[in-house]
């Protein structure tokens, strides 16, 4: 095993200029993250300089067997925290051989929205709070929970320390550092209200980069939990009953909101979001109705309301934003399994372009 570890950690730059590029894409379910690696002749820092590639879409639920080729277009490059050196992770999106985005390619439409002149001028910032649950591999029960049983009620676990309260911290810290190494703008981590549940935050990130960074952060977490022999769940309500669900609260601001007088712009944006509540809910993640019940720090899925410092609202405005008259707001509706390309672009579309 020591030799195996030595080989895995070989420094390629000592013997060759060649690098390994891990191409990452989103599979047919919209949540399965796929990847495969290829050798390139030397270091690359510009995704437009990377070759396109292809894969068997019939094996990912994205193409029929008699016309299975799907083309990968490289879109963003990150440093590879697993292979290190000059090796890279490459976030891709997916197209037909004719160059049309396949139905599960949500990045393509998001990029169109983020390239709209009105959106570009507003420089939209996002900070996404990604909650997730760590599960014991063979029983699919939360880490730290007695098999077939339950821990003590919620209360002691949020932002906790101690072997009887915080479960999986080595995975969380490994992920934190790996994301920083990769060049992801991860801004923090914390233990969540339900034991075995954690959160990391990505941002502030501008426009389409918020989606790229969150997807690659998810990929890195999948790889680390694979190494640890733990199952990663983005289910918005992994355990029924009196336990918190898992969300992906999305913090958002535009240039106008961050400038003097921005609070009025924020209130106008929230009003626009309220008018499209049903459309947003439909796009904010599968199974969200199990989470948005009006309990456990959520608003009911059929109700739109906002408030200052109110964690039971659809939209929360911070006390500091209210006091300063400018800043940002938090959309608390997205589920943990939401697609960040869809959520971030839809918020921009509703609040800036003003789609009716």
Q: Where are the beta strands (DSSP E) in the chain?
A: 19-26, 33-40, 53-56, 69-79, 88-95, 125-136, 186-191, 197-206, 230-233, 248-253, 306-308, 315-317, 329-331
Comparing CA positions, the residue from 34, 141, 22, 29 lying closest to residue 85 is 22
Total-model pTM: 0.96
The confidence score (pLDDT) of residue 310 equals 83
Fold of the CATH domain 4-104: Ubiquitin-like (UB roll) (3.10.20)
In this prediction, residues 50-67 reach a mean pLDDT of: 95
Domain boundaries, the chain: 4-104, 117-353
- 136 Cβ neighbours under 8 A, 6+ residues apart: 142, 143, 145, 147, 230, 231
**Which position has the higher pLDDT, 299 or 74?**
74
Pick the CATH number of 117-353 from 3.30.390.30, 3.30.1330.10, 3.30.300.210, 3.30.590.10: 3.30.590.10
Mean pLDDT for the chain?
96
The confidence score (pLDDT) of residue 48 equals 97
pLDDT at 356 over 70: no
């Amino acid at each position: 095993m020591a030799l195996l570890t030595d080989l895995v950690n070989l420094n390629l730059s000592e013997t060759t200029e060649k690098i390994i590029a891990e191409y990452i894409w989103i599979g047919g379910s919209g949540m399965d993250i796929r990847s495969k690696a290829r050798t390139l002749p030397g270091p690359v820092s510009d995704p437009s300089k990377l070759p396109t590639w292809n894969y068997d879409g019939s094996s990912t639920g994205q193409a029929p067997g008699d016309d299975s080729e799907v083309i990968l277009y490289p879109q963003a490059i990150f440093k590879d925290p697993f292979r290190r050196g000059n090796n890279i992770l490459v976030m891709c999106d997916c197209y037909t051989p004719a160059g049309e985005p396949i139905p599960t390619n949500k990045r393509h439409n998001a990029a169109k929205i983020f390239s709209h002149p009105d959106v570009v001028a507003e420089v939209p910032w996002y900070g996404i709070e990604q909650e997730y649950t760590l599960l014991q591999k063979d029983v699919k029960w939360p880490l730290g929970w007695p098999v077939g049983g339950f821990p003590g009620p919620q209360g002691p676990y949020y932002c906790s320390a101690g072997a009887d309260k915080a479960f999986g911290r080595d995975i969380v810290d490994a992920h934190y550092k790996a994301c920083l190494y990769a060049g992801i703008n991860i801004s923090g981590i914390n233990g969540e209200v339900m034991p075995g549940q954690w959160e990391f935050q990505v941002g502030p990130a501008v426009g389409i980069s918020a989606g790229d960074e969150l997807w690659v952060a998810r990929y890195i977490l999948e790889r680390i939990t694979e190494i640890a022999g733990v199952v990663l769940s983005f289910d918005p309500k992994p355990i029924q009953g009196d336990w918190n669900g898992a969300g992906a609260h999305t913090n958002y601001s535009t240039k106008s909101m961050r400038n003097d007088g921005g609070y009025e712009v924020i209130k106008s944006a929230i009003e626009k979001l309220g008018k499209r509540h049903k459309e947003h809910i439909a796009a904010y993640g599968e199974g969200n109705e199990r989470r948005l019940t009006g309990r456990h720090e959520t608003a009911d899925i059929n109700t739109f309301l906002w408030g200052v410092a109110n964690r039971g609202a659809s939209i929360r405005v911070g006390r500091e934003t209210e006091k300063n008259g400018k800043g940002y707001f938090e959309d608390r509706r997205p589920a943990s399994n939401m697609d960040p390309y869809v959520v971030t672009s839809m918020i921009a579309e509703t609040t800036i372009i003003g789609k009716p």
